[in-house]
Structure 1
Amino acid sequence: MTMIKGLLTAAAAAGAIALAGAPSAWAITNAEADYIKDLTSAGIAGDQAALIADGHTICSALAQGADPNTLSQTYFKNSGQISHAQADAAINFAKTDLCPAG
């Protein structure tokens, strides 16, 4: 499955969002474990480190003012492997599991 970061990178190249670096440590937090569990429940699978990095990329994009619907559409459009509902879920899970509140 194509990872979100790769999909969002294409959007960033078009000026849609800005990407930030992902944490470099592999020890995952409880929030990151929840994110992986939620993605799996939605049928989204892949390398855990990449998925976690993608989730943090989503949070960075949202913090910089990216529209969640635009991120979801970009993910869906570029993946060719997930449904609209899965794309929405990936964005929502990042928001609820990983992104700082407020």
Structure 2
Amino acid sequence: MIKSLLTAAAAAGAIALIGAPAAGAVTNAEADYLKDLSGAGIAGDQAALVADGWTICKALTGGANPNDLSQTYFTNSGSISHAQADAAVNFAKTDLCPAG
């Protein structure tokens, strides 16, 4: 199961590279997530970044290890540091995931 979730995270990362279509209005939680990512030096297509965040939440809810998700995010992004990948997972957890 975790492998399929990580595959989903990889797919979401790939969407960020090709540019996802603009989604509907950004929620307050998503705006907070994007602000936190920006503060950590992570930039890109906002819709794709939000999709990545929700994918992280789904993976965490499914029992994925945050460290494994961070490593996958780092590997698939090709443009962020390990620390930024850790931050992205933590921001998703605190800003987006229902359990916080």
TM-score, length-scaled by structure 1: 0.75
Equivalent of residue 5 in structure 2, options 8, 17, 20 = 17
The match for 1:46 is 44
Return the alpha-carbon distance in structure 2 between the equivalents of residues 51 and 89 of structure 1.
13
The match for 2:31 is 33
CA deviations 1:40-90 (Å, max 9, x no partner) are: 000100111111111111100100001000000111123221111000000
Q: Which segments of 5 or more consecutive residues in structure 2 lack a partner in the other structure?
A: 10-21
Return the alpha-carbon distance in structure 2 between the equivalents of residues 80 and 28 of structure 1.
26
Count of residue correspondences: 87
The alignment-based identity, stated in percent, is 74
CA contact (8 A) 1:16 1:66 kept: no
Structure 1 or 2: larger helix share? 2
Q: Cα RMSD over matched residues?
A: 2.4
Q: Which segments of 5 or more consecutive residues in structure 1 lack a partner in the other structure?
A: 1-11
Residue 95 of structure 1: CA displacement?
Answer: 0.1
